[in-house]
Structure 1
Amino acid sequence: MDIQRHAPNRHTDTRIDELEALLDQTAALRDTPIEPSCFSARLLEAASRAAVASGAALWRRGPEGNWHEDSVVGSCTAALEARTTFADAASAKHRILWISPGGRIDAGGPINDSSDWIVVSPTSAGRVLELSLGANAADDRGLLTEVARSFAELAGEFFESRELDLLRRQALHWRRLEAFVAAIHRSRETGPTAYAIVNEGRLVTGCDRLSVTVGRGRKVAAVSGVEAPDKRSDAVVCIGELAAAAVASGQSRWSLRTENDGVVPPRLARAWDACQASSGVKRAQIAVLSDSLDARGRPIGTLVAEWFDEAQTTGPGIDAIADHAQSALANAVHATPGPIGRVTRAVSRPSRLRSLPRTLIVAFILAAAVAALCLWPAEFSVDARGQLRPAVQREVFAPRDGVVRELNVRHGHAVTVGNALLVLTDPSLDLDLEQVLGDLRTARQRLISVQAARTTAPGSGRPADRAVNRSGQLAGEEKEIEERLAGLEKQLQILERERDALTVVSPIDGIVLTWETADRLDGRPVRRGQRLLTVAQPEGDWLLELFVPDRRIGHVLDAHDEFEELKIDYLIATDPAVTHHETLETIALSTERHDGTEPSVRVTARLNRADLGDLRPGSTVVGKIRCGRRSIGYVWFHDLFESIRTHVLF
């Protein structure tokens, strides 16, 4: 900001520059998010320095029209009544007033009883700036008037912007509150109503997280920002405990901080400490919601608002939405469909008490049905799928990577132990053999040459010591070649064994069960460990092989420990009209995945061939393993019980 440079000559440009610097600093401070009280103090300090004032004050008119000091710096020695009158006059006349020592504004008005000049300048925001200047201030009246006007303008701009911000926030608050009220009354079901309360209510209250519990507090119905709260999470458990403790306290409102000044019940204090330790919450507000449709006002839920940064706890808080949420939640609870809603309405409304006998009859029928489900015994069995196969059956696997060069068997061919089933070829193995054989030939020729050189007599004229050295070198080289030959021969033996292993032989006497062997294997590459063929003895004993899902094997194991002998009823897919019966023989000790299905445990039973006739290996079987007698309710709904235990209670 600029000060007009029309002051008397004794004021230098340096003084003007200092004044403009103070104004610029205050103007920069005006545009920052500073608290009004702090800005007022900083502005008065700058104005006092600029005007060389002994004191400065900022006056504000209260709601009842009375003026009071909003902020003061230094010493203002005039009487408070006179200063109040001067501020009111400047505001009414909309101009800067100078009051000399001992002077007054109007006849009969209060006198400036101090030794200072008092300058009062109105602002555009309804405030008045007061400066207490020295006795010689009138000499610089023009400059000081500009100083007072400039600082008053800064104060007016600052407080006008703050008032506009306040109006905007209030308008936004009312818009959000209207949207909140419309959203929470849109549904008459408890779940959607609670969801709307937390997500729309968080915007109104200004909290970081808002939760709604129903009943007496423990059941968390909704949490803001979450589609469905995880009932097992630490945060949800802590919110439920905090709400239950607030309901038990008998007080409808609680405000909790990291350090609570008031008396907090021990249970509520413990729940609050657990919440702080679990999620780091710094502040919380709790509102207990009562049933507005019940004459006794029973609690129907709670609102729990949380802040994680105590410095950001601005906003109207939970009181702004508590009454609206209470009304909407009460309507939803009483309008909830189903038996629970009907019982709630019957109990809470006296006009419905006449229907209680009918309700008791229905309750008796339900109790009888539940008792029958729990007490009536029925046969309990575990379903499983599997196959039929010969008891003696072996899989043939590829010994190493290679290509099927020769296939000697087809589906249904009879084989004996040691029969060559197929022959593999491995180019890398052939290359290794050729290399080792070549190295052997080279080493043997070199050995012959060295041995021949040793047997040749030393040439004439050669010194004796040189002949001895030459003989020693040849002996060492011969020893080295012999060791190399031994190593190469071992390598050759290993490679020959691997080559022999490429001829895959039958491990047992039997018949080849693999279908379309030529299409699957002839001329095709295979990997080490790949299953190539299946050989079995269909004329011997046969097995019933079932794969029990891992989630159900516990029933079979418990029944096996209790009865030792378990019966199996099964159907063969090729003849589903006949039910066969066998006795369980073995249960595998490990779990496996069969043909990519869910994890399962293999169980087997030996078949009675006399009752079955011709059998086909791999025939599909649907079986039931009898596991004793249980209540009919458990037999019908055990899958549901296990799902609830696994996915809900765990």
Structure 2
Amino acid sequence: MSVNPAVTDERQRYTRRIEESFEAAAKLAGSHLPPSDFYEQLLHKTLGTIEAKAGAIWLRTPQGFLQLACQVRLDQVGLDEKRGCRQCHNELLRQVFQAQPPRPALLEPNGRLTPPGAENAPIPAANLTNYFILLAPILTPDKHSLGLLEVFQEPNHDPRLYPAFLNYTAQMAGYASQFHAYLSQRADPNIERTFTQIEAFARLIHSSLHPTEVAYHVANEGRKLIDCDRLSVGVRHGRSRVTVEAVSGADVVEKASTHIRCLRRLMEQVLHWGETLVFKGTREAGLPPQVATALDAYLAESHPKFLVAQPIRDPREKDPNKPPRSILVLEVFNPPEQVEPLIQRLEVVGKHAAPALYNAAEMKRVPLRLLWKPLLAIQEGLGGKGRFYALAIGLLLAILIGCLIAVPYPLRLDAKGQLLPEEIAQIFPRTEGVVVDIRVRPGQKIAPDYDVVHLYSAELAQRLQQALSQRNEAQGQFEAAEQILRELRDVRDRATYETQRETARLRREAADREYQALLREYLCLPEPLGKFRAVAPRFDPALPRERPPIWTVLDDDRRDKLLGRTIRPHEELLRVGNLEGVWHVELKIPQRNIGHIRRAFADPRLHHVEAATGRKYLDVDLLLSSMPDTRFLGRLYENGLTAQAVPNQQELTDNEPVVTAYVKLQAPDIPPHLQAPRSQFVTGLEVRTRIRCGQHALGYSLFHGVWEWFYEKIIFFF
């Protein structure tokens, strides 16, 4: 016989849904929901799983009647549409409820229930609706009817599915029976008292975070719950060492006593083993040697007839390779015949004690507990966390504002500069000319007046040639007049030629002086005419020196840029400096900061005075680009400030005018380790500086820029 595939698919679909419904109903049966909520959720789950039209749960009253406890769409199945339908339905419920033994019932649409002896009843037990009615009894633990679960199912399903629906309804009624049995157990006075004791025990052990206090509560109150002779608590605070925190009945744990030392050794070995140790008068075979040795040593000190050492692990202890955080040791000197209830109660106590002991042990590991405990006491004294936070924030703000006003702090102003020798010179041509030769190399040391660059000027050559021509012409006139005077016989004409000779001599000497002046002024070379030189300048003879100074060429190789190029007198050829002399830092101080520096020099409290010379100066912190991890010290003297602000030509993004200042790098009273080393002196090296402008209020030193902006934009505006 063939099977309809549609029916098979429908059966499989309902089978999967029914299995899921059983899992959900089992959770509901073990929950702590109120009965009304349980009935409603169970009925909705029952109807939704098999897609039933309506349903109801009927429960027995104290008088023995059925009363509707919960219903879903019961008014839509037509109980009031036909005459007598409601009475027949009520009779059907009564007979199924009173049936002995209780059993489920299935009625087809317009079907009758005919139990023995009910054929001649005045009101028949019938289903006059157009739906299948599924009835299943809800039973008490002693198998008496407590109520009914009723389901109205559509008649359009395959007939073979309705027995499965009836079986499903009976199973769901069974979960309702389990829920009532659970309610009965909770209503038992002894169980209720036990639950109350356990709840009080849990609240007590979680009332503190001190390991010793928690352990004493666990030991003393847990002994009462377990009903044993002694309960000991150990907590592991380190990697493996266990501390015996509490022993029931003992006010103080003498950790140096032999009894406690043996107990601690037993706890450590059991924790390392990781299993529960049970001793019932004889030692079990197969114990690890370390555990057996520790057990024997403890039994020699204490003589219990029954002992259980149970490690308790909190769910937050995720690493299985580490021993549990705590352990309980139960001892009974005159045990009962059945010791399993003691072990079960120990497990219950251990489940509640594990998180409390774990919290206390973790709290002990928190650093600075001596600081947090007074803060907690203050918080409780103020009346709560909100007030404590408000007062703490207000106090911190007051302290912060007080520090910003009262605490002195040096005002440091940033500025950028470059490292330069004090004696530095630029070489310019005496007149406009074409560069024909560069006679020095980068870094070459040269003496003063050394020929650095040779140039050629056509204009200068023309002027020299003109002076030479005038001298030669005057020389010819002088020689001609001299020749005539030697040959002249007439005395009357002699005066005329002597005058001509004297005039030619004077012209010759004037032309010669002009020629020599051009040679000296432009440092001309002998030949060719018009070729002159640019030389290194001379040093200031007034400066004291230990040895003769010498210039060093600072520029790079500029042959490609200068050779063959016409250079005007204001264009620089080369730059030289005395690298063996004194160096300084050329600063570009923004004009917004120069006021602070001027005030520091004007106020005697803000600047220093050099003892040897009496000059005023400010300390300057230096940071060389070549040594960005070392701070050095320099000095800014009052005469090191220029009196003019000029546009900043070095910063393309910041065109704010700057004031040039010079910082001395070396002074006799600067400690050697704070002086910049000469090995780092490179011309043009970038230096970041911070000028110390004396002690000011901490808030002003840190936020003076904010105050100046506020004053300029807000106060000055009004």
TM-score range normalised by the length of the shorter chain:
0.3 to 0.5
Please identify the structure whose Cα radius of gyration is greater. 2
TM-score, normalised via structure 2 length: 0.35
TM-score, normalised via structure 1 length: 0.39
